[in-house]
């Protein structure tokens, strides 16, 4: 084998390199701080030293020191980082905060102290925090708010005291100072009694919009009068009471409260009370509220419950995750304007009872898996405007007029994501409908009969994926005001558009993607002179016929991707309207022969108009297959005699070269790498963060464990994988060198048994090593999968695992190890990342 004869250049350089390395395994140690966003955001977790790490510059705005071992915060502890806006000190074993610890942080707006067990807080501990908006004291072993030294934090908007052992809701006098407070959470504490006077501090001043969270406490009683004359934005009482009778009597104690939204109920994973019993909410008769939300009760006494007794005059009611099988008795002259039931247990749309809500304007019953029938009729809801019955399992026929008697104000009807619905075409009683959404529900009727004839006012119709087969030319007759028609994922007779849209003169958006279309007849779009957006992608159209698209003179967006176009003829290019700002003709079967030079030129000129250019690829002729249209070389179409001669000579040289290559396999590659490396390194940008060398058998692992977390994380990294990023048509060796090594800052080698067995992988790895030594770039990151034979590994990887620049990581298939692995990997990759470039891309 020629391989044997090669003198591996890098073996000469290794001892030299080694001599310069102080500690052979230094590469394994990671710097304590991760620069998440240059100069402003740093993550320095799990430190074992006190103080702000020296590497954090004074420009830092966000600093995460969580899981460090800080113990005690002295005065002016953070003086080196005066620009901080967010400081995370979660789980830092802090027991003491001395006076003026945060003194220099005039701009700090968020301070997180979660899970530190305080023994001592100086009375001036929080002095200097002149802009603090959010203070998180979750799980800090606080038993009382009385002595919390926060009375001077006038700017505080959110105070989170969750998961502590606070036993009393008595708010000290200093709360009157906290006039900006909007959110006060006592989530999961030990409050048992609420007494008159506890909330006095909220009564003073004009507080408008405070959210008070008392969920997961163990309230045994609320003394009547405790909430009298209190105004709140929101009061949350989920799993706050031990049993039914305690909840019943405690709610009586809310008398006199004025609140915009009251949320009561349980948590799905934490039911204390699962049954809703008679009279539970009777205390709410004395509460003034605009919105009431009831969450998570499993059982309701059927039909005897008194759910609406005291909330019948609330403007908005939301019922979520309730085992409600029937609608409870509705009080006469109820004032409810908006009613929502999400994930309730109805089997039938309870239209009869709901019709007693005479003031109802918005009704939503969604995500109820047992809801199948719609037989009862809504009657005389003259104010009803919105009915949303989406995402249930409804199957019924006779839609829709007779189900809505005398509901003439109905404007939105959403029946999408249901099972199946038969439309009769009778919309006479609801002919003022503006929006009708039936997507993803199997429909009977449309396509065969002109079922929309009555809907002369309708402006929005969605019948996407409804298994509609358009046979009748009058399918959309009557929709004279229609502006948006979405009907992707359906079909047309003979897979052909004929005169289907003749009267839709106001249409501005038409989606007929994925309709299996093979042809569009002349005159189809004649009436659509106002159309702005046409999506005809994912069909099987062979041509963009100028005559057909001529009438679309207002078109701005045309999506013609994923069809079978070979070319746009000159006549088609001329008819494209000037108004067009976005044209997608990607994923078609383009013919790049020189006969279509005009089209190819046009593609080059219209780069701004064209979308998804990287997916515009030659399909023909065979030698051009898979070449990207935008990188197509126009000059190749002007061949002269001399060039032919040159080509012949070049071909001959190529043959000679190939012979040579065959003989001097590795030497040649290395010199090629080294030479081209030196030549290009200056001009090439680093397009990728890393080039991944791996065995094709590990493809799945690479995608799941590397590509997905790294490319999807923050910051996102760009990886170069041979199967994905290599330019098609370019010889593979050139690709490895130019697209792989020269365009990437790092090389990641995924070392597995498959890798060690593959000759190709060893070859790539050898090139990577010599490239690294010559270019002097960052290193090779070796990821060793757990099942590898260690002896074999040592032999194969040779000395390179001891190089200073290289990083050697082992991967184990455990959640915790994966997490650490990924942190180390991102830590290595983030060094030297080109942020300017990154910002450009994000814009
Ligand atoms: C970070 O700060 C340094 C020194 O102040 C400066 O040279 C560099 O441009 C800054 N980087 C960014 C991305 O702002
Ligand atoms: C942190 O430092 C202390 C001594 O200051 C030492 O006892 C402890 O083992 C160190 N922990 C770690 C994880 O290094
Ligand atoms: C930050 O440090 C630099 C020197 O490293 C200094 O010139 C600059 O004045 C400092 N800025 C602030 C706000 O302290
Ligand atoms: C919480 O504080 C009490 C004293 O108030 C102390 O006895 C207890 O150990 C502390 N808990 C923790 C977890 O530090
Ligand atoms: C409340 O604010 C006033 C004025 O800023 C201040 O004098 C007083 O000390 C504050 N009260 C508390 C308990 O911090
Ligand atoms: C009240 O606060 C809530 C959230 O805390 C917010 O969504 C709402 O817009 C606020 N209302 C007013 C009138 O400020
Ligand atoms: C409800 O809880 C209270 C307080 O713990 C207790 O006194 C009462 O007996 C309980 N009632 C029922 C019905 O369990
Ligand atoms: C609801 O309002 C009506 C009149 O608008 C009134 O008669 C009725 O008592 C009120 N019900 C409740 C529970 O406040
Ligand atoms: C519709 O309501 C009007 C009055 O609002 C009433 O006269 C008429 O009988 C109702 N029609 C039906 C079909 O219920
Ligand atoms: C209808 O409901 C579906 C599912 O909830 C939603 O995605 C869609 O936007 C709604 N349609 C309209 C017109 O609001
Ligand atoms: C088409 O629209 C015109 C005017 O808007 C109307 O007179 C005609 O009846 C409509 N034709 C159909 C088939 O809907
Ligand atoms: C056209 O429809 C397809 C799916 O049918 C969708 O992926 C694409 O984003 C749509 N195009 C535009 C421009 O909205």
Give domain limits for the chain.
Answer: 42-191, 220-323, 337-482, 533-637, 684-842
For the domain made up of 337-482, the CATH class stated in words is alpha beta
- Mean pLDDT in residue range 56-60: 93
Return the closest-CA partner of residue 386 out of 367, 369, 356, 366: 366
Residue whose Cα lies nearest atom 7 of ligand 2: it is 48
Q: pLDDT tens digits, residue range 159-190? A: 999 999 999 999 999 999 898 999 999 999 99
Quote the pLDDT of residue 802.
54
How far from the centroid of its chain's Cα atoms is residue 596's Cα? 42
Confidence at 748, pLDDT banded by 50, 70, 90:
confident
Q: Is 233 in the pocket of ligand 6 (CB under 6 A)?
A: yes
Quote the pLDDT of residue 789.
76
Q: Is residue 130 pLDDT above 50, yes or no?
A: yes
Residues with CB under 6 A from ligand 8: 285, 310, 312-313, 333, 335
Quote the pLDDT of residue 639.
57
Distance of CA 423 from the midpoint of ligand 11 (Å): 22
Return the closest-CA partner of residue 750 out of 770, 768, 737: 768
Q: pLDDT tens digits, residue range 351-410? A: 999 999 999 999 999 999 999 999 999 999 999 999 999 999 999 998 888 899 999 999
Q: Is 456 in the pocket of ligand 11 (CB under 6 A)?
A: no
Q: pLDDT tens digits, residue range 610-668? A: 999 999 999 988 888 888 888 888 887 765 445 556 666 778 777 767 765 555 555 55
* 98 or 303, which is more confident: 98
Ligand closest to Cα of 289 equals 8
* Share of the chain residues as helix, strand and coil, in percent rounded to the nearest 5: 25, 20, 55
Residue 807 parent element (H or E): strand 807-811
Q: Is 533 in the pocket of ligand 7 (CB under 6 A)?
A: no
Q: For the domain bounded by 684-842, which CATH number is listed?
A: 3.40.50.10140
For the domain made up of 533-637, the CATH class stated in words is alpha beta
Q: What is the CA radius of gyration of the chain?
A: 35
Report the nearest atom of ligand 10 relative to the CA of 412.
13
Neighbouring CB atoms inside 10 A of 198's CB total: 18
- Mean pLDDT in residue range 117-137: 95
- Mean pLDDT in residue range 75-83: 94
Judged on CB neighbours under 10 Å (0-12, 13-18, 19+), 51 is middle
CA atoms lying within 13 Å on the CB side of residue 690: 27
The domains spanning 42-191 and 684-842 adopt the same CATH topology: no
Residues of the chain above pLDDT 90, percent:
53
What's the pTM?
0.72
Q: pLDDT tens digits, residue range 688-713? A: 888 888 888 888 888 888 888 888 87
Q: Is 586 in the pocket of ligand 12 (CB under 6 A)?
A: no
Confidence at 29, pLDDT banded by 50, 70, 90:
very low
User: Kind of pairing, strands 34-37 and 41-43?
Assistant: antiparallel
Q: Is 391 in the pocket of ligand 10 (CB under 6 A)?
A: yes
Residue with the two structure tokens 């099942």? 787
The mean of the pLDDT values for the chain is 84
- Mean pLDDT in residue range 406-416: 95
* 726 or 545, which is more confident: 545
Report the nearest atom of ligand 7 relative to the CA of 242.
2
DSSP single-letter state for residue 452: T
Q: pLDDT tens digits, residue range 588-612? A: 999 988 888 889 889 988 899 999 9
Ligand closest to Cα of 462 equals 10
Quote the pLDDT of residue 276.
77
Confidence at 777, pLDDT banded by 50, 70, 90:
low
Contact 219, 192 (CB under 8 A): yes
Q: Is 513 in the pocket of ligand 12 (CB under 6 A)?
A: yes
CATH (one of 3.30.70.1350, 3.40.190.10, 3.40.50.10310, 3.80.10.10) for 42-191: 3.80.10.10
Residues of the chain above pLDDT 70, percent:
85
Quote the pLDDT of residue 363.
97
Q: Is 476 in the pocket of ligand 10 (CB under 6 A)?
A: no
Distance of CA 715 from the midpoint of ligand 3 (Å): 26
Residue to substitute in 157, 209, 211, 232 for testing ligand 6 pocket (most ligand atoms within 8 angstroms of CB) = 209
Report the nearest atom of ligand 2 relative to the CA of 48.
1
Residues with CB under 6 A from ligand 4: 117, 141
Confidence at 814, pLDDT banded by 50, 70, 90:
confident
Distance of CA 549 from the midpoint of ligand 10 (Å): 31
Residue whose Cα lies nearest atom 4 of ligand 1: it is 39
Contact 449, 472 (CB under 8 A): yes
Quote the pLDDT of residue 304.
63
Residue whose Cα lies nearest atom 3 of ligand 2: it is 48
Residue whose Cα lies nearest atom 12 of ligand 9: it is 406
């Amino acid at each position: 084998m020629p391989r044997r004869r090669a003198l591996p250049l890098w073996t000469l350089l290794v001892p030299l390199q080694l001599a310069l390395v102080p500690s052979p395994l230094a590469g394994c140690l990671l710097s304590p701080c991760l620069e998440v966003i240059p100069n402003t955001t740093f993550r320095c977790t799990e430190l074992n030293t006190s103080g702000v790490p020296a590497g954090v510059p004074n420009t830092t705005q966000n600093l995460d020191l969580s899981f460090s071992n800080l113990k005690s915060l002295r005065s002016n502890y953070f003086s080196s980082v005066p620009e901080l806006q967010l400081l995370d000190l979660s789980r830092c074993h802090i027991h003491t905060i001395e006076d003026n610890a945060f003194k220099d942080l005039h701009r700090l707006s968020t301070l997180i102290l979660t899970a530190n067990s305080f023994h001592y807080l100086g009375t001036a501990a929080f002095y200097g925090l002149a802009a603090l908006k959010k203070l998180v004291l979750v799980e800090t072993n606080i038993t009382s708010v009385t002595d919390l030294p926060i009375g001077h934090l006038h700017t505080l908007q959110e105070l989170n005291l969750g998961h502590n052992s606070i036993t009393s809701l008595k708010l000290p006098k200093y709360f009157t100072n906290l006039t900006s407070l909007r959110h006060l959470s006592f989530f999961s504490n030990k409050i048992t009694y609420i007494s008159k006077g506890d909330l006095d501090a909220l009564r003073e001043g004009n507080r408008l919009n405070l959210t008070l969270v008392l969920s997961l406490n163990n309230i045994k009683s609320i003394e009547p009068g405790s909430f009298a004359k209190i105004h709140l934005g929101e009061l949350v009482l989920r799993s706050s009471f031990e049993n039914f009778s305690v909840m019943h009597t405690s709610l009586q104690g809310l008398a006199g409260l004025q609140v915009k939204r009251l949320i009561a109920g349980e948590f799905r994973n934490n039911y204390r009370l699962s049954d809703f019993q008679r009279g539970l909410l009777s205390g709410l008769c004395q509460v003034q509220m605009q919105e009431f939300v009831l969450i998570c009760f499993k059982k309701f006494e059927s039909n005897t419950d008194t759910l609406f007794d005291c909330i019948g005059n609330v403007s908005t009611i939301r019922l979520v995750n309730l085992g409600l099988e029937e609608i409870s008795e509705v009080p006469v002259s109820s004032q409810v304007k908006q009613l929502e039931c999400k994930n309730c247990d109805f089997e039938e749309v309870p239209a009869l009872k709901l019709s007693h809500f005479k003031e109802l304007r918005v009704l939503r019953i969604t995500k109820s898996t047992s809801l199948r029938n719609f037989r009862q009729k809504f009657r005389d809801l003259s104010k009803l405007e919105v009915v949303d019955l989406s995402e249930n399992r409804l199957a019924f026929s006779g839609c829709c007029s007779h189900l809505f008697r005398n509901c003439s104000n109905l404007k939105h009807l959403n029946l999408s994501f249901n099972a199946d619905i038969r439309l009769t075409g009778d919309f006479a009683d609801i002919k003022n409908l503006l929006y009708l959404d039936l997507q993803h529900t199997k429909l009977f009727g449309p396509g065969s009969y002109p079922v929309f004839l009555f809907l002369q006012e309708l402006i929005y119709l969605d019948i996407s994926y409804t298994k509609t087969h358009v046979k009748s030319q009058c399918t959309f007759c009557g929709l004279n005001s229609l502006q948006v028609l979405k009907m992707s994922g359906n079909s047309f007779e003979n897979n052909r558009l004929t005169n289907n849209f003749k009267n839709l003169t106001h249409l501005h958006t038409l989606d007929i993607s994925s309709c299996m279309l093979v042809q569009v007849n002349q005159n189809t779009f004649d009436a659509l002179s106002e159309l702005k957006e046409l999506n005809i992608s994912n069909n099987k159209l062979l041509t963009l016929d100028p005559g057909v698209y001529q009438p679309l003179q207002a078109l701005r967006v045309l999506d013609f991707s994923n069809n079978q176009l070979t070319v746009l003829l000159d006549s088609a290019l001329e008819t494209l309207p000037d108004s067009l700002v976005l044209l997608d003709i990607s994923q078609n079967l383009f013919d790049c022969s020189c006969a279509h030079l005009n089209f190819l030129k046009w593609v080059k000129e219209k780069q701004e108009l064209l979308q998804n250019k990287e997916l515009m690829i030659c399909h023909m002729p065979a030698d051009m297959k898979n070449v990207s249209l935008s990188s197509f070389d126009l000059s190749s179409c002007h061949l002269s005699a001399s060039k032919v001669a040159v080509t012949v000579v070049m071909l001959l040289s190529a043959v000679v070269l190939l012979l040579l290559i065959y003989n001097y396999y590795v030497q040649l590659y290395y010199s090629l790498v080294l030479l081209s490396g030196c030549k290009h390194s200056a001009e090439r940008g680093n397009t990728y963060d890393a080039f991944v060398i791996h065995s094709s058998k590990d493809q799945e692992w690479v995608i799941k464990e590397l590509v997905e977390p790294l490319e999807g994380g923050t910051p996102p990294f760009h990886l170069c994988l041979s199967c994905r990023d290599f330019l098609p048509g370019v010889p593979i060796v050139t690709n490895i060198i130019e697209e792989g090594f020269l365009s990437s800052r790092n090389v990641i080698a995924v070392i597995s048994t498959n890798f060690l067995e593959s000759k190709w992988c060893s070859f790539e790895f050898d090139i990577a090593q010599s490239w690294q030594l010559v270019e002097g770039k960052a290193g090779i990151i070796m990821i060793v999968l757990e099942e590898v034979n260690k002896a074999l590994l040592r032999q194969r990887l040779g000395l390179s695992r001891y190089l200073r620049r290289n990083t050697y990581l082992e991967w184990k298939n455990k959640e915790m190890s994966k997490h650490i692995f990924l942190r180390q990997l991102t830590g290595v990759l983030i060094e030297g990342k080109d942020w300017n470039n990154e910002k450009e891309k994000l814009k």
